[in-house]
Structure 1
Amino acid sequence: MIYHGNRFTLKPDVAQQDVEEALESLRNQGRVIPSVKSFVVGRDYGGEFEWGATFVIEDLEGYWEYLIHPAHRNTDRVGLPLVDKFVSFDITDDPDPEMGAKIAALHQRRFDSDPELTKLISDLDEYSGSAAPGEHGR
C-alpha cells in the first residue's frame, strides 16, 4: 500500500468560500478516483501546516491513475492558487528499495506532461515532495 499525503498552509487572504471549494475538491478525489481505497481530508495538528489530506492507494498503477484523474486535476486548478506552503510525501510498506524513485518518476512524468500544473506548483512560495519542480529539474 502507498499512503500519499499532502500538508499545506493557505495564503492569509483566501476567502472561506474558496477554502471550502478546495477542501471539497480534495474529498471528491477520495470519493471518485477508483484506485483510492480510503482517504482523510482535514485540519493538520502538531506541525507547521493548517490542512492535510491522505489517500491510500494499492500500487503504482493506481498511483498513476490517481495522479492523472480529472478530479485530481480539478483540485490542482482550484486549490494550488490558494496555497502558501505545500509538502507531499509517501509512506509505503512495499519492500522494493526503488519504490521512492518509482513514485518520484510518476510525479516527474506528470509534471513533464502538464506545463500548466508545473507552473501552478512553481508559483507556490514553498513546495517540497515527490519530484517537486526544481528538485529534479524543471
Structure 2
Amino acid sequence: MIYHTNRMSLKSNVTQEQLDEAMRRFREQGAMPMVKSFFLGREHGTEFDWAAVFVLEDLDAYWEYLTHPSHAKSQEYGVPLMEKFEAFDISDDPDTELTSKIADLQRRNYEADPHLVTLMSGLASHTGSSALSHTE
C-alpha cells in the first residue's frame, strides 16, 4: 500500500466559499475508484492548514490517481488557493526503488500536462514527492 499524503497552507485571502469548494473537490478525489480509503482534516501544531491521505494499492493505482479527471479538476481549482504544498508517500512496499518509481510517475504526469507545471510553479513553496525540482 502507498499512503499518498498532501499537506497545504492556504493563502490569506481564501474565502470560506472557496475553501468549501476545494474540500468538496478533495472529497471527490477520495471517492475515485483506485483510492482504497481517504482522510481529509485540519492540521494542528504545524505550519500547514489541511492534510489529505489517499490510500493506493500500488504504483498502477498511483498512476490512475494522478491522471484521473477528478484529480486534475481538484488541482485546477485548489492549487491557486495554496501558499504552500507538500506531498509525500509512506509505504509498506519493500521495493528499494519505490521512491524513484514514484518520482518517475510524477515526472510523466508533468510531461503530459504542461498546464499543471505552470500551476505548481506558481506556489510559494512546493516540497516532497511531487515537487517540480524532484521531477524535472
Q: TM-score range by the shorter chain?
A: over 0.9
Structure 2 residue identity aligned to 1:12: S
Q: 1:7-46 to 2 correspondence within 5 Å?
A: 7-31=7-31, 33-46=32-45
Structure 2 residue identity aligned to 1:8: M
Q: In 2, distance between residues paired with 1:112 and 1:46?
A: 36
Q: In 1, distance between residues paired with 2:47 and 2:88?
A: 15
Q: How far has the Cα of 1:129 moved from its partner?
A: 1.5
Number of residues of Structure 1 aligned to a counterpart in Structure 2:
136
Q: Is the 8 A contact 2:103 2:134 kept in 1?
A: no
Aligned to 2:125: 126
Structure 2 residue identity aligned to 1:109: R
Q: How far has the Cα of 1:15 moved from its partner?
A: 1.1
Structure 2 residue identity aligned to 1:17: E
Aligned to 2:86: 87
Q: In 1, distance between residues paired with 2:18 and 2:135?
A: 31
Structure 1 residue identity aligned to 2:62: Y
Q: How far has the Cα of 1:85 moved from its partner?
A: 0.5
Give the CA RMSD over aligned residues.
0.9
Structure 1 residue identity aligned to 2:95: D
Q: Deviations over 1:40-96 (max 9, x none)?
A: 111012311000100000000000000000000011011000000110000000000
Aligned to 1:52: 51
Give the % identical residues: 49
Name stretches of at least 5 consecutive residues in structure 1 with no aligned partner: none
Q: Is the 8 A contact 1:105 1:131 kept in 2?
A: no
Q: In 1, distance between residues paired with 2:37 and 2:134?
A: 29
Q: Deviations over 1:10-57 (max 9, x none)?
A: 0000111011101110011111x1110000111012311000100000
TM-score by length of 2: 0.97
Structure 2 residue identity aligned to 1:103: I
TM-score by length of 1: 0.95
**2:100 maps to 1:104:** no
